[in-house]
Structures are given as C-alpha cells and as structure tokens.
C-alpha cells in the first residue's frame, strides 16, 4: 500500500468514526420532545451527545447568594461555598437535569442553569431550600402554655423569619419559639437530638391524610437505635418535625419506634413531596441562600434561537463556499470540501466529549469556519505566487504549504491561547464559545493543511497536469 493510500485509509476511518459519533445526536434531536423526555426519565439518554445549552433548549437560570452572615462563625467561607455547590449539584443530579451548569461567581454567588426545566418555582424549591431538618420535643407543660398565651397576645411574634425581641423575652429557658405551616405557634425544646444529617434516605409515599403524598424517611443504622431509645423515653409526647425553622407536623409518639423510620406529613402535592425528598437526601446547605436573579427561557424561544443560529451558520458557510469557488475555481472546491469535513469533525468531537452547544458556541463555530478559510486563502495565495515565479506545479504546491504554515500556526496558536483564558475565567456561554473555538481550530489545522494537501498530491500523482485551476 502506497503512502497516499495509507493516508486516505486514515482519513476514511476518521470520517466513518465522526459519522458514527454524530449518529446518536442526529437520531436524538430528530425525535419528538415527548419521546426524548420519556427516555430521559428512564435514564436512557445517550452518553455521547451534543447537549444544548440554556439559550437553545430553554430552562431556568438562577443567581443565588449564600448568606455568609448566617454561617457558623468558625466556618471557612471558601469551604462553605464549595459544600453549597456540591449539595446543589447533588440535588440537581437527583432531579435528573441533563448537563446543568453550577458554578461559583465571586465571593458569595452561585450561578445555576437548568436546561429543559421551565418550572421555575420547582427549580427554586429544589436548589434554594436550606433543608435544615430537625426533630425536637414539643413543650406542652404549664409554663409553656402560659408563655404561648402571652406571646399570642403580642399579635406579631415573628419579624420576618426571626422571633421578635418582645416575643423572645417571653420564651422560657431551654425552649425556642417556632411557627407551623398554618402559622400555629410551638414552643420546642432547645435540644436537637436528631437532624437531617442523620438520615439514610428519604422517599415519596402515599398514605397520609386523605391519601396525600408523604415523605418517608429512614435513619442511618447507627442512629436507628438512638431514635428507638429517644421515642421510648418520650411516649405520649409530641415530636415536632421542623424543616427550615417551620414545624411541618408534630405527631404524638404513641410507642417506642423501632427500625428508625418515620414520615413527614404536610398536605404535600406529589411535586412538593418529590422536591422535599430530593433536598433531604442531598443534605442541608451550610447557610441559607437568597435567589437574587431568575430568568426562565421557554422552549419556543430556544427553538427560535436554534433556527436563527443554524440559519446564520448556513448563510455564512454558503457565502464562503460560493466565494472560494468563484475566486479560486477548482482549488476553491478543494477548500470547500475541507470546510465541510471541518464542521463534521468538530461536531463529532463535541458529541464524544458531551460538550454543550450554546448560541455563543454557534458563534465559535462560525468563527472557526472563518479561521479555516483564512488558512486556505493563505495557502492558495502562496501557491499562486510560486506558480507566478514559474515553478512546476508539484513544487509550487509544496512550497505554498511550507511558506503558509508558520503564519497559519501563529494565528491559530494566539487564538487558542485567548480561548484558553476565556475558558479558564469565563462562565457558562463564554466557556461554550471557548470550547467550540478551541476544538474548531485544532480540527481546521488538520483539514486545511493535511487534508487539502493530500487531495492535491493525489490529483497530481494520478495524471499529467499542465495547469492548476487556482
């Protein structure tokens, strides 16, 4: 097998591999939306797929602020931020969002992008809930009842989420004041025997009042015996189940509870119960978070963005194809073929790495096409110059590639370095632009230099060429 045949075999295998990698993406996005959602529900989404970003797929964008003032004074802020991001990521993963973006921004802000999630309320409920779960004994003695009566007379015992100063003065020692879901007042023991950190799992079940959904929980094995002892020592007392400083329920402990299991009732909808079970499994945030910005992009707007992006790419490619064909004749056709393969290889690479395509990413692809054309123009102009000097066609072609190579390499390397900085310090769409640009430049070096040169060598080796169409 000759060198040319060996090279063409390699190119053919690469092209076949690229089409193989692209097939799942083409097949996936040719399905109806409902069919894709069904497959995602059963975790049957292909692994190697070009994902669509928030601006193309639609979804929810949240900018959250960690309330550093409510952190433990001894807590390390960067560590708390890292834990908050990890907990939010665990919640989102359990919710089943494909390719979410969860990133730190500045000292106390977290950006959360959830492609495909148009229900902003549910998204906020999952990622924004502190999920601090506590189990406390309800105080029902004479002293507690007397204090509750006096507190109720104040009319407004809470200032926002905190107990008012006047109400706090009436709370007996060893107790804390809480409100229920329906604004009832509870005095609970200051001692917290169990928290959400002691749970092994939480899941949705039906069987509450009127068949409403409940959240069933189970303690870790080492805490199960402690829970049994705790309930045994507090039979006929009320145990309050407190989530984020709100009493969801306060059932009577009728007997010693073995097995470390229980349920949380609260007149939940199935959606509410599902969201609560997720945040309990993922754990509590180290401090409350405030959502300071939210945007919801509908799927229709995403589809419009895809159409606009594809139209822009197609028009740019068509204009370049026609220009190269008119200005460089048959040699322009060679450059056009390289551009087509450039796009195919680029999209295949994105599919293999599971990259996310955004509108800025499409802009990166268009820029890549421009950079690839720039490389071809440099090569073709150098070949023209060599032919004008009277060199034989084969020598002129080789000299053209040799003289253009350093300029192409320099321009591509400087652009790659810029893209690396954008990827390192940018977020979201900026990273998407940087990824497509870097991958596109690497691919364009292969198609513009190696592939087009291989076509010329094959053409010149197969016949006696008196004049090159350029």
pLDDT at 412 over 70: yes
Mind listing the pLDDT tens digit for each residue in 237-287?
Answer: 999 989 888 888 888 898 898 888 888 887 788 888 888 888 888 877 888
Q: Provide mean pLDDT across the span 159-188.
A: 84
More reliable by pLDDT, 59 or 192: 192
More reliable by pLDDT, 421 or 129: 421
Domain residue spans in the chain? Answer: 3-33+298-462, 59-129+293-297, 133-269
Residue-level pLDDT at 18: 95
HSE of 78, CA atoms in CB hemisphere, 13 A: 0
pLDDT at 120 over 90: no
Best CATH choice for the domain 59-129+293-297 from the list 3.30.499.10, 3.30.70.3400, 3.30.565.10, 3.90.226.10:
3.30.70.3400
- According to DSSP, residue 139 is labeled P
Cβ(113)–Cβ(92) under 8 Å?
A: no
Q: State how far the alpha carbon of 104 is from the alpha carbons of 62, 267, 379, 384, 419, in Å.
A: 12, 35, 44, 52, 20
Question: Quick one: which of 266, 292, 293, 294 has its CA closest to 280?
Answer: 266
Question: Quick one: which of 442, 439, 299, 296 has its CA closest to 361?
Answer: 439
Q: How far is CA 6 from the centre of its chain?
A: 42
Return d(Cα 154, Cα 124) in angstroms, integer: 33
pLDDT at 359 over 80: yes
Domain 3-33+298-462 sits in CATH at: 1.20.1640.10
One fold for 59-129+293-297 and 133-269: no
Triad 44, 50, 52: Cα angle to 5°: 95
pLDDT at 59 over 90: no
Cβ(287)–Cβ(77) under 8 Å?
A: no
3-state secondary structure of 263: strand
pLDDT band at 20 (very low <50, low <70, confident <90, very high): very high
Return d(Cα 133, Cα 131) in angstroms, integer: 6
pLDDT > 70: what percent of the chain? 95
CATH topology of domain 133-269: Gyrase A; domain 2 (3.30.1360)
Q: What is the pTM of this model?
A: 0.67
pLDDT > 90: what percent of the chain? 35
Tokens, residue 229: 């002892």
pLDDT at 223 over 80: yes
Q: Angle formed by the axes of helices 429-445 and 299-353, to 10°?
A: 40
pLDDT at 97 over 90: no
Q: Provide mean pLDDT across the span 309-321.
A: 87
């Amino acid at each position: 097998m000759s060198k040319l045949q060996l090279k063409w075999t390699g190119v053919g295998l690469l092209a076949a591999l690229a089409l193989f990698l692209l097939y799942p993406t083409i097949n996936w996005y040719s399905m109806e939306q409902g069919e894709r959602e069904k497959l995602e529900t059963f975790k049957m989404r292909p692994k190697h797929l070009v994902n669509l970003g928030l601006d193309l797929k639609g979804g929810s964008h949240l900018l959250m602020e960690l309330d550093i003032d409510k952190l433990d004074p001894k807590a390390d802020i960067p560590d708390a931020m890292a834990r908050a991001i990890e907990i939010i990521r665990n919640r989102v993963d359990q919710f089943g969002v494909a390719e979410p973006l969860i990133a730190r921004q500045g000292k106390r802000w977290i950006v959360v992008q959830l492609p495909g999630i148009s229900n902003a309320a549910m998204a906020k409920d999952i990622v924004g809930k502190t999920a601090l779960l506590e189990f406390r004994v309800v105080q029902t003695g004479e002293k507690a009842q007397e204090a509750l009566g006096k507190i109720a007379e104040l009319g407004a015992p809470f200032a926002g989420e905190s107990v008012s100063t006047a109400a706090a003065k009436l709370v007996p020692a060893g107790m804390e004041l809480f409100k229920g879901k329906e604004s009832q007042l509870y005095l609970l023991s200051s001692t917290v025997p169990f928290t959400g950190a002691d749970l092994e799992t939480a899941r949705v079940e039906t069987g509450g009042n009127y068949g409403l959904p409940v959240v069933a929980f189970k303690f870790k094995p080492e805490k199960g015996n402690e829970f049994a002892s705790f309930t045994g020592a507090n039979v006929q007392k009320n145990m309050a189940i407190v989530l984020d400083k709100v009493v969801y329920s306060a059932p009577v402990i009728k007997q010693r509870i073995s097995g470390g299991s229980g349920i949380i009732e609260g007149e939940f909808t199935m959606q509410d119960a599902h969201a609560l079970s997720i945040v309990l499994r993922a754990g509590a945030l180290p401090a409350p978070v405030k959502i300071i910005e939210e945007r919801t992009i509908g799927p229709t707007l995403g589809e419009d963005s895809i159409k606009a992006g594809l139209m822009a790419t197609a028009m740019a490619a068509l204009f370049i194809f026609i220009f190269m064909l008119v200005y460089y004749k048959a040699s322009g056709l060679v450059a056009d073929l390289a551009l087509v393969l450039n796009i195919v290889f680029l999209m295949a690479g994105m599919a293999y790495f599971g990259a996310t395509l955004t509108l800025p990413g499409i802009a990166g692809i268009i820029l890549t096409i421009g950079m690839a054309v720039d490389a071809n123009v440099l090569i073709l102009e150098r070949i023209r110059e060599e032919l004008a000097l009277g060199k034989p066609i084969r020598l002129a072609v080789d000299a053209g590639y040799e003289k253009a190579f350093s300029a192409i390499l320099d321009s591509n390397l400087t652009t790659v370095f810029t893209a690396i900085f954008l990827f390192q310090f940018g977020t979201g769409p900026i990273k998407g632009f940087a990824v497509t640009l870097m991958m596109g430049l690497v691919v364009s070096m292969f198609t513009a230099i190696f592939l087009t040169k291989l076509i010329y060598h094959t053409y010149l080796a197969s016949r006696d060429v008196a004049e090159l169409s350029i």
